[in-house]
Structure 1
């Protein structure tokens, strides 16, 4: 059975001053349960990630600031959140959820985190609504414990995974692949192992063609024994900030292609949801739910 990380902390009220759209973290599992795609047996609640594991990725001084609520006003503006103990706890739970998903993926082939994909977090700072980099923490967990030898990060969020690229810049055992809007946030890009910048207005056909051109060759070159897939739905044409023109069906086809290829190669994968900012939350939820539906259909 496919396992899905979910915890009620995702749906707690957000502290005053926060405007990040959090409702999808409640609506996605709710919709999947309602329609019968999953049952409550698919869901699990992660614990808080051990600090030792966080410190394999993040600088101690930065982690201490998160724990003791001593981020400066400038650091909070860079992140986009007003600091709070709840936010720090939430990020630690997300990170543990992604680690747990890795363990489940070894057994089932795939596991998914309803949240996660916090790829703008660097080792020593947060950015873009990301405090801790859950996929980087999970990748280092796998390497540290000898559970993987070569990891591929497939980042298909519309925004470049700048924090992930920076963290693994000098780590040959983690290959970072980011396919993102060339003129989108972050405006100063880091260098991934492979970046595929997309022009504004890139349509479904062009997007899928580029993915099909790069991903199979990349898998043959890198030969990963584990993959992370950041399945952001901010590539949708309806997204407020994405600047791309990918259809709802195109996003579903993207997910199917990634899952099918990894499953065919026998590569376990952990999935995190990443971004999505369409004005109608129903579009965001539907696109994310398609990721889960596709995984269930292929792996169960």
Structure 2
């Protein structure tokens, strides 16, 4: 029997299947600025969407923190214990682990209660949001977690600002709890290889992984690459035309190759030109078009889709994410209707897919 969880709740149909909590945002005495990640981008996306009158605080789903029991669905207890207080003489071993994962060395010297509240709790809340969004995607046809996408974390290790394996967790929860959901496709379009979920699903034929990434950057995990069913390695500085052509071709190829019960779309914006870690050269409009390609393909194949926002290391990425969601809404690819009501919407979207 699956464990009891607070994450699988029912929400009124008047709510958008957009998941967020103000607790996503990370602030701790300015130390978050030592990592290029914009640790407040999730709140900025929501504020932009409010300004454009797409959502209100009451019309979206409030994310809840994943509990230890929730995390143990994927993570080993040994790994979770390493993220907890474990004092060894003059330093705290667990803070060393968190400092390594977040790539912010001063975290090593922070008191344990402070790091738990200011760093790990926001990441656990984003993880809970991804799990919640998985259920919503099955019910409504689509869902977006404005955070999440921690694709460098696997069941027994973290890295690259990823402390919890939210993508793996969302899929495992669906397999265990939702009747009729037994296969999944991960479309990972973050600039970095998604080695965390690849390690987790290495020998699991139920999960098809497509990964498009810059082959010259972190993590370069050769072992994890063995799990990728459709691998697209990009050169440094790849631009819009080549990138979008490859995304369009390979997304369609992946969905034709395997008909899964859900798509997990890791929509990192670190592909944006000028990103200090991504090494690609995609324009803001290219990112918006990329997201449109993936959502159109999901609707065309009638597969529910869960989107997470993943990496993106420039202040302007929040605006681009918001603009992309507004575009998806304008095109009718996301709205409040659920699948049971919105079957006619598939026809509407398909009719515009060649325009």
TM-score (norm 2): 0.79
1:196 equivalent in alignment to 2:210: no
Give 4+ residue runs of structure 1 displaced > 4 Å after superposition.
none
Distance 1:74 1:95, change over 3 A: closer
Which residue matches 1:71?
94
Deviation at 1:299, TM superposition (A): 2.2
State the alpha-carbon separation in 2 of the partners of residues 56 and 8 from structure 1: 25
- Structure-to-structure mapping, 1:79-118, within 5 angstroms: 79-81=102-104, 82=107, 84-86=115-117, 87-118=119-150
Deviation at 1:37, TM superposition (A): 2.4
- Structure-to-structure mapping, 1:1-300, within 5 angstroms: 1-11=15-25, 13-14=27-28, 17-18=31-32, 19-20=34-35, 21-68=38-85, 70-71=93-94, 73=96, 76-81=99-104, 82=107, 84-86=115-117, 87-147=119-179, 148-189=181-222, 190-191=224-225, 192-278=228-314, 281=315, 283-297=316-330, 298-300=333-335
Matched residue SS, 1:180: strand
Where does structure 1 lack aligned partners over 5 or more consecutive residues?
none
CA contact (8 A) 1:165 1:193 kept: no
State the alpha-carbon separation in 2 of the partners of residues 78 and 72 from structure 1: 10
| Between 48-57 and 114-123, the greater mean CA deviation after superposition | 48-57
Deviation at 1:140, TM superposition (A): 0.7
Where does structure 2 lack aligned partners over 5 or more consecutive residues?
1-14, 87-92, 109-114, 336-355
State the alpha-carbon separation in 1 of the partners of residues 175 and 54 from structure 2: 33
Deviation at 1:79, TM superposition (A): 4.0
State the alpha-carbon separation in 2 of the partners of residues 53 and 133 from structure 1: 11
Matched residue SS, 1:299: coil
CA contact (8 A) 1:110 1:295 kept: no
Structure of greater Rg = 2
State the alpha-carbon separation in 1 of the partners of residues 268 and 302 from structure 2: 23
Matched residue SS, 2:213: strand
Q: Deviations over 1:25-81 (max 9, x none)?
A: 221101110121222233222222232331121111111222436526266324424
| Between 186-195 and 100-109, the greater mean CA deviation after superposition | 186-195
Distance 1:14 1:44, change over 3 A: farther
Distance 1:55 1:207, change over 3 A: same
Deviation at 1:12, TM superposition (A): 5.2
Give the length in aligned residue pairs: 297
CA contact (8 A) 2:152 2:160 kept: yes
Distance 1:287 1:91, change over 3 A: same
CA contact (8 A) 2:26 2:39 kept: no
State the alpha-carbon separation in 1 of the partners of residues 229 and 67 from structure 2: 29
Distance 1:15 1:187, change over 3 A: farther
Deviation at 1:161, TM superposition (A): 0.4
State the alpha-carbon separation in 1 of the partners of residues 256 and 57 from structure 2: 37
TM-score (norm 1): 0.92
